[in-house]
Amino acid sequence: MFIDTHCHLSIDDYDDIDLVIKENRNVEISNIIISGCSYDSIVESLEISNKYDDVFVTIGYHPDQVEVVDDEKIEFLKEQLKHPKVVGVGEIGLDYHYGKENRDAQIVLFEKQLKIAEEYNLPVVIHSRDATEDTIECLKKYKEAIRDYKKALEINPKNTKNLNRLASVFILVGNLGEAKMTQQKTLNVEPNNSGYKEQMGTIEKIIEDEQKMKEKINENKFDEAEEICKKLIEKVPAFTDLKKYYIKILIENVKLQEALIFISKEITFEDKMKDSEFDYLTALTLYFD
Ligand SMILES: [Zn+2]
């Protein structure tokens, strides 16, 4: 069974949506996640998800909506995020393909929605076109969240929601020790929360794999180290310091060419970078800047 994690199903694009969904079922697609990325398509995608058990949605304002999204539409988005079929925020992001005139406004809208996603504890679906560096910069601002959560926890150290979010941010920035300690505090307050337990499991597994990888490198068993390293790169979220750290290990200890292939996959939206060795190296510099 497969899940289609991102598609656009609209009556503007298909005459018969029922038929499209039926056809998906025939080819063993168990669930479809539709992206509602304008006011109208958010309304439409939620309506479709209400009709079908196997259809879910991500909702958020695409950068091409920057001129029309006002406070009211942001409030509407927040309200709809509580809908049981919503599984993420997006697609949101930056698009400079047709020009950069509204770059600042796009960044404001993107960051606003990243914060909302954080607030609602939802993953994001990113649209990034000709805007790699700015997209990465916006995502890096997650780091500021650490400071904010720590402040909030000084007032109420047993707020498990904030503890759990802080642990997530520590994973994003690659501080696994702090992530584990923070998650432990969450579990001290709510020992039976299955979501928190699961996240602890993920953190422990990453720490364990990282340890194993380092041992293999020390033993000069680079093939085995490479396997573990690749899995770690796939496991951790894109554009995080942790991912960069593993890619760096792959470059320094394993195979440069392999690492470049991995990086090129991470930045596939920069199509032009795929073409030559030189561009790979440009990409590398960009990536580690
Ligand atoms: Zn899309």
Pairing of strands 2-7, 124-129: unpaired
Query: Do 4 and 27 form a contact (C-beta atoms < 8 A)?
Result: no
Query: Which stretches of 64-193 are DSSP H helices?
Result: 71-80, 103-119, 132-140, 142-155, 160-172, 176-189
pLDDT tens figures, 58-111: 999 999 999 999 999 999 999 999 999 999 999 999 999 999 999 999 999 998
- Give the percent of the chain with pLDDT over 90: 39
Residue 289 in domain: no
Distance 30 CA to ligand 1 centre (A): 19
Residue 269 reports pLDDT greater than 50 = no
Peptide bond into 91 cis (omega under 30): yes
Query: Rounded to an integer, what distance in angstroms lies between the CA atom of residue 185 and that of residue 163?
Result: 7
Q: CB–CB of 151/164 below 8 Å? A: no
Longest dimension (CA), the chain: 60
Looking up tokens 């950068």, which residue turns up?
63
Q: Are residues 75 and 148 in the same domain?
A: no
CA of 33 to the centre of ligand 1 (A): 11
State the pLDDT confidence band at 276, using cuts at 50, 70 and 90: very low
Residue 90 CA to ligand 1 centre (angstroms): 9
For residue 138, pLDDT over 90 is answered with no
Q: What is the CATH number of the domain that holds 189?
A: 1.25.40.10
Q: Which residue has the higher pLDDT, 66 or 121?
A: 66
| Residues 18 and 131 placed together within one structural domain of the fold | yes
Q: How many independent structural domains does the chain possess?
A: 2
What range defines the domain where residue 101 resides?
2-140
In angstroms, what is the span from residue 60 Cα to ligand 1's centroid? 11
**CA 104 from chain center: how many Å?**
22
If asked whether residues 184 and 120 sit together in one domain, one would say: no
CA of 92 relative to ligand 1 center, distance in Å: 9
d(Cα 161, Cα 192) in Å, to the nearest integer? 14
Per-residue pLDDT at 279: 41
Residue 266 lies in a domain: no
Residue 183 CB partners (closer than 8 Å, separation 6+): 163, 164, 167, 196, 199, 200, 203
Q: Which DSSP letter does residue 237 get?
A: P
pLDDT score of 256: 54
**How much distance in Å is there from the Cα of 8 to the middle of ligand 1?**
6
Q: What is the pLDDT of residue 68?
A: 96
Residue 159 placed within a domain? yes
Residue 269 is assigned to a structural domain of this protein: no
CA of 23 to the centre of ligand 1 (A): 20
Least confident segment among 91-100, 104-113, 154-163, 235-244: 235-244
In a domain, 29, yes or no: yes
| For residues 269-279, average pLDDT | 39
Q: How far is the CA of 238 from the centre of ligand 1 (A)?
A: 18
Does the residue 282 lie in any domain?
A: no
Q: Which positions ≥6 away from 195 have C-beta within 8 Å?
A: 164
- How many angstroms is it from 91 CA to the middle of ligand 1? 6
User: How far, in Å, from the CA of 6 to the mean position of ligand 1?
Assistant: 6
Same domain, 83 and 163: no
Do 152 and 163 meet the contact criterion of CB atoms below 8 Å apart? no
